[in-house]
Structure 1
Amino acid sequence: MNKINIFNEIVEILNNDYAGYSAKKHLNQPEKYHITNEMTDEEFVKTVQSYLLDFNDGHLYFNKSDAATTNRGFKVRRYENSLYVTEVTKDSRFKLGDKIIKIDDLTINEFANKHLKLLEDHIHERQYWNVGLQNADKILLVRDNDELIFHLKNYEWESYIPTFTFKQIDAKTTYLKIESFADAEPIQKLLQEHSLEITQSSNLIIDVRINHGGNDTFYFPLLDYIFDKNISFQDLFEDDETMYTNYTKRNCDLWLEELKEYLKQNLDESTERLIQEEIKMVEKNYDKGMTLVPEDTDHMICGKNKPKNIYVLSDVFCGSSGETFVSNVKKSSKVTVVGRPTMGIMDYFNVITVHFDNYEFDYSISKMHEKYHYNQTGVVPDIYIPWTPEQIEHDLDLQYVLNLINK
C-alpha cells in the first residue's frame, strides 16, 4: 500500500470513524501536509504524526511497526529553564541530576518555543522532553560546576516491562506500585498474595505515577479496598456523565478483535463476564454510528472498612486507564490524591489499531460528554506537589504522604 493511499485512508478514518471527528473538525487540515510515495519512511511517519498532533489527542498515533524505535539512552524532565536527567537507561555518559542548559546552542526556553508542538504543553512539568530531544544533535550540561558538551546518540528501545510491587512500609501502612492496567493477572496475583496485609493496615498508598493504561475492567478488584461500602460501579457516575461510541462497521470489527484478545488472558470470572458483556454491546450496535452508551456496568464493588485511608500518587506519566482509575477513586471519601495532574488523554478512549502493511495507526472510538473533558488539565490531584530536581534523589510525594499519616 503506497504512502499517499495510507494517508488518504487515515484522513478518511479521522473524518468518519474517529470518536472526535465532529469536535475536532476545525483542527483537521490534511491539506497542510504534503505526502509523496518517494519520501523516506522516517519522513512519512514524522509528517503523519505532525498532522495528528494538530488534534491535541494523545491517543492518536502513527508509526512503522517493523522499525526499531530509538531513544537517547536517558530521560529528562524540565524545571524552570533547565532539563534534569532523571533516569539513565543506555548512555552511561550521563548521570542522574545532570543539568542541561542548552540544546543545539539554544536555551531550553528557545528550543521549547521552536518545538512546542512536539512538547505538547506550555506547562514545564507536563512537556514531553524525551520526544523533543529526538530533534536535537548536541547539548550543553552542567555537572559539578563544569560545563560539558555531548553529541546525542540513538539507542533501540527495549521492551517495557511494567512493575507491580507490594511493600509493607510499617505496621499500619502498605504500598502498591502498579504501572499498567493492560493485564489482569498481575493485579489479581498482587491482591491474592497480599490481601491480608492490606486489610490489616490502616493506610494504603497506591502509586500510579507511571501507568501506561490498558483496560478499566482490570483495576476493578482494587476498588473493593478503595470504597468503604457496597456500591454498584455505575452509581459512581452523575446522570449526565455519559460516553458515546462511534459504532461504524470498521470500528466494530476492530474493537471486537481487541476484546476477544483480552479474553485470551487468565481472567477471573467477573472480569471475563464484563468483557463478554462489552462484546454483546458492540454486536448489538454494529454499524449504528455514534451512539450514546449509558454507564450500565453492573459490577458490584464490595467495599471494605480497612484500609481506612487510601493515598493515590499521580503524575503526568499516568495515562489512559490509569487516569480513569485516578478519576474514579476520587469519588471515594477514603481517597486523597497527591502529586501532579495525570497525562490528560481520556476525553477520547477505547483505542483500536489499523494495520497498513508495516505501518500502524491508533485512534479512539469512544468519547466522554464534553462537560467531563479534562485533556487540557489531566485529572487534578487533591494535593498538588510541583516537580523539582530534588525529586531525583528524594521521593517528596511519598514522604508527604507518610508525614500526613504520622500526623
Structure 2
Amino acid sequence: MFTVLVLITLSLRAQDCTCAETFEQVVQVYENDYALFNIKVNEANRKLYAANKEVFKKKAGNVSEIKECLPVLKQWLQFFRDGHNNISFIGSSAIIENRKSIAIDKSTFLKEINRIRKKKQNKKNDLLGIWKYGAYEVGIMPKKDAPQSEFIGVILNSKNNVWKPGDVKFELRQIYGNDYEVVYYMDDNSEKKLKAKFQNPENLEFVDYNTWVKVWPSNPNTTINSQETELYSDFHVRMIDGKIPYIRFPNFYEKEPAFVDSLLRSHHQELVNADFFIVDVRDNNGGNDVVYKPLFPYILSGPIQTPNYGLWISKGNIDIFLDGRKPEELDDESKEEYDYLSSLEGSLFWPDGDEYASTSIPDTLFAPHQKVAVLMNEKTISSGETFVYRTRQSEKVILYGQNTAGIIDGFNVLTKTINCFELRYPSSVRARDVAENPIDPYGMAPDVYVDKNVDVLKFAIEHMSLLIDKK
C-alpha cells in the first residue's frame, strides 16, 4: 500500500466566512474530491444536478448568519443520497467551549433526583433517572427555571472523549402523554430536531434515530426486560434458553479484535456444539472491519470474495495524503509514488490491480454444517453492512430483518475544513461496477424479510429451529 496515503484532516480554516462563499467552496470540494461524484452525477441527471445547485446557491446567498448556513449545505448535499457525506458547523472557536453544560456529576445527580422525586408531582415520573445508549450514560432531570413539561439529559459518563460529565446531550419538551419534541446535540454541537416516545418505564425511543434504556432507578417488575435491552447496547455473548449462542455487535469501534477473539474463544465449545447461533448487527453503526474478523472461522463456510476498491485521485485528496508535507520534502520512493498518483488526477486508481475482486481463504473453519442467523435492519450501516456483504457469501448464513442502510458504495472518509464548516466525504469506491450494481441507497436485502414491528430474534429462532428439524 502506498506509504503516502495517510488519511487525516486538512485544515483550511478561515475566520471570516459568508454562506455564499462557503457554498461555492463546498461545492468545489464535492465536485472535485468526492469519489462517487461522477457516478452520482451522470449524463442522465446532469441537468437536474445543475438546477438543484442553482436553487441552493440562491438560498445560500440569502443567508446572513453563518450558522444558519448549515441547513442549506446539508439539504444540497442530500442530492447524492450518501450517508458517508456530512457537513457540520464548527465555528471559529472550540466546540467544547460553546457546549451547554451544568455543574453536576453522577453522585450529585443521584442526590438531586432523589430530592426531586420526593415532590408530589414527580413521584410517578418514570422519565427521571439514568439512561444509557452505546457510549453514553445520561441523567434526565427537569430543566431549571422552565415549565414542568421540559427536561434535559446531561452526560454522567461517556466513552466518547468529546463529551464530559455535565454536558447537555439533549433537551426534551413534552407535547402530550408520552410524546416529546427533542433537541439532540451532536459531537460538533449542531442540533438535531427529533421526536421521542416514552414507550415504557425502561425505553425512551428517539424516533428513527436510537433508543435509550433506563438503568436507574430500576422497576422491580420489569428488571429482566431492562437488563435485556441494556445488553442490546453492548457487545456480548450469551446463551438463549441454555442452548442457542447469541452474539451482539452494536458497533465495530468500541472493542478491539483481540477482545472479541478472547470472548469467542471462551465460548468456543458452546458455539461449535450448537445447531445454530445468532449474530445481531441491528443498529450497528460501523467502525473497523477488523473487529469482526475473529468471528470468520465460526461463520464462514469457505472462501469469500471482496471487490477491489478504487481510490479517487484529485489534487485535494493528494494534499491530504501528503500529511502536510510538500512534494519536495518527500524521499525518493515517496516522491515517485506522488508523481505517479499526480499523473492519474481526475481518475480512479485501483491499488490491487485490474481484477474485479480478491479471494480470502480462511485458515480455519469450525462446524461447517452448522447454521448462523444474522439479524440486520435499516440502521445496519457502514462496516455493519460490509459484515453482511461478506458473511452472506457463507452457505451457513441466513439473513433476517430489513434492508441495510445502503451507504457502502463510498468509503475511506476524508475530513476537510472549509471556513466555519467541516466536510466529510468518501475518497474510495467499493467496486468497479458500483454504477451498474449499486448497494446505495437501498441497502442489501435479507434472505427472510421480517417486519420491524415483529420480534425478529424470536422469529429467527423459531424459523431456524424449524429448518433444522426438517433437515
- Equivalent in the alignment of 2:294: 221
Mapping of residues 291-306 of structure 1, within 5 Å:
291=348, 293=350, 294=355, 300-306=361-367
Distance 1:242 1:177, change over 3 A: same
Structure 1: give runs of 5+ residues left out of the alignment.
Answer: 71-86, 94-133, 144-148, 258-278
What's the counterpart of residue 314 of structure 2?
A: 248
Match for residue 259 of structure 2?
Answer: 189
Residue 114 of structure 2 corresponds to which residue in structure 1? none
CA contact (8 A) 1:69 1:157 kept: no
Q: Which runs of 5+ in 2 are unaligned?
A: 1-13, 101-131, 143-169, 189-209, 211-231, 324-333, 467-471
- Alpha-carbon shift at residue 92 of structure 1 (Å): 7.7
TM-score normalised by length of structure 2: 0.56
Partner of 1:378: 443
The 8 Å contact of residues 260 and 294 in structure 2, kept in 1 or not, is answered as no
Q: Which of the numbers 393, 416, 428 marks the counterpart of 1:331?
A: 393
TM-score of the superposed pair, with normalisation by structure 1? 0.64
Contact in 1 for aligned 2:82/2:441 (Cα 8 Å):
no
Name the counterpart of 2:192: none
1:164 and 1:187 in contact (8 A); partners too: no
Counterpart residue type for residue 249 of structure 2: I
Map 1:247-396 to 2 at 5 A.
247-254=313-320, 286-287=341-342, 288-289=344-345, 290-291=347-348, 293=350, 294=355, 300-306=361-367, 308-356=370-418, 358-367=420-429, 368=431, 369=433, 370-388=435-453, 396=455
The 5 Å alignment of 1:4-403 reads 4-25=20-41, 26=46, 27=49, 29-33=52-56, 34-36=59-61, 39-65=64-90, 66=95, 139=175, 152-157=181-186, 163-182=234-253, 185-195=255-265, 196=268, 197-229=270-302, 231=303, 233=304, 236-237=305-306, 243-254=309-320, 286-287=341-342, 288-289=344-345, 290-291=347-348, 293=350, 294=355, 300-306=361-367, 308-356=370-418, 358-367=420-429, 368=431, 369=433, 370-388=435-453, 396-403=455-462
**Cα distance, 1:181 vs. partner?**
2.3
Q: Is the 8 A contact 2:22 2:419 kept in 1?
A: no
Q: CA deviation at 1:312?
A: 0.6
SS at match of 1:317: coil
Tell me the C-alpha RMSD between the 2 structures.
3.7
Contact 1:90–1:155 (Cα < 8 Å) also in 2? no
Change in Cα spacing, 1:92 to 1:285, as seen in structure 2 (3 Å) is farther
Work out whether residues 405 and 441 of structure 2, in 8 Å CA contact, stay in contact via their aligned partners in 1. Answer: no
Deviates more, 1:292-301 or 1:246-255: 292-301
CA offset digits 1:1-50 (Å, max 9, x no partner)? 21344322221122211112212332354321232596324311111001
Q: CA deviation at 1:253?
A: 4.4
1:320–1:406 distance in 2 versus 1, CA, 3 Å:
same
Paired AA for residue 284 in structure 2: N
Deviation at 1:190, TM superposition (A): 2.2
Distance 1:338 1:255 in 2: 40
Using the alignment, how far apart are the partners of 2:99 and 2:394 within structure 1? Answer: 40
Output the CA distance in 1 between the equivalents of 2:233 and 2:321. Answer: 24
Deviations along 1:127-181, one digit per CA (max 9) or x if unpaired, are xxxxxxx9x998566x6xxxxx86x353545899963121122454211111222
Compared CA separation, residues 329 and 52, structure 1 to 2 (3 A): same
1:285 Cα offset (Å)? 6.0
Distance change >3 Å, CA 153–CA 291, structure 1 → 2: closer
Distance 1:364 1:158, change over 3 A: closer
Cα distance in structure 2, aligned partners of 1:284 and 1:397: 53
Distance 1:405 1:21, change over 3 A: closer
Q: CA deviation at 1:361?
A: 0.6
**Cα gap change, 1:381 to 1:319, in 2 (>3 Å):** same
Deviation of residue 194 (structure 1)? 2.6
Identity across matched positions, percent = 24
